[in-house]
Amino acid sequence: MQTAFRLIAAGVVSAIACSCARACRSALAPAIALAAAAVLTAFVLRLLKPVADYLQTLREGAGMEPSVFSPLLQVGCIGILTEFCCAFCAEAGEQSIGRVVEFGGCAAALCALLPLLESVMNLIRPYLGG
């Protein structure tokens, strides 16, 4: 709970600092926003630690192999990080960079799924006559 309050406080302070820098037409506003994004990301990752632990417990309880569960988790993380980066690029006024990052995130997600697809193919290959 304290981490969430710290996240909110850091977000408010960062937004105020960026607004003040933009009002003064300072070139520091993007640097402040980038530093704030890095700090806030660290807070968010700390918030997600219990979620990761719980997902591990679910995986073990379901008897899923790490080779099956890991790609799913990776794709989820890639999606979240890609969305975050796209939003940051859009906020910075660089929508074209955001679109390329979005495309790269899709490609990375497909690459992360390849081991899972290989496992599925190995399971169904005997039924396909191969």
Q: What is the pLDDT of residues 76-123, one digit of tens each?
A: 889 988 998 888 888 778 889 889 999 999 999 999 999 888 888 888
Whose CA is closest to 20, among 7, 32, 11? 32
Residue-level pLDDT at 100 = 93
Q: Which two tokens stand for residue 54?
A: 């719980």
Q: What is the mean pLDDT of residues 46-62?
A: 85
Residue-level pLDDT at 107 = 94
Q: What is the mean pLDDT of residues 42-69?
A: 83
Here the contacts of 76-85 (C-beta below 8 Å, separation 24 or greater) are 78/105, 78/108, 78/109, 78/112, 79/105, 79/109, 81/105, 82/106, 82/108, 84/37, 84/41
Question: Residues 74, 75, 79, CA angle at the centre, nearest 5°?
Answer: 115
More confident residue, 130 or 2: 2
The overall average pLDDT reported for the chain is 85
On whether the CB atoms of residues 58 and 45 are closer than 8 A, the answer is no
For 71, counting Cβ atoms within 10 Å of its Cβ (0-12 exposed, 13-18 middle, 19+ buried), the class is: buried
Q: What is the mean pLDDT of residues 28-55?
A: 83
Question: CA-CA distance, 98 to 121, in Å (whole number)?
Answer: 34
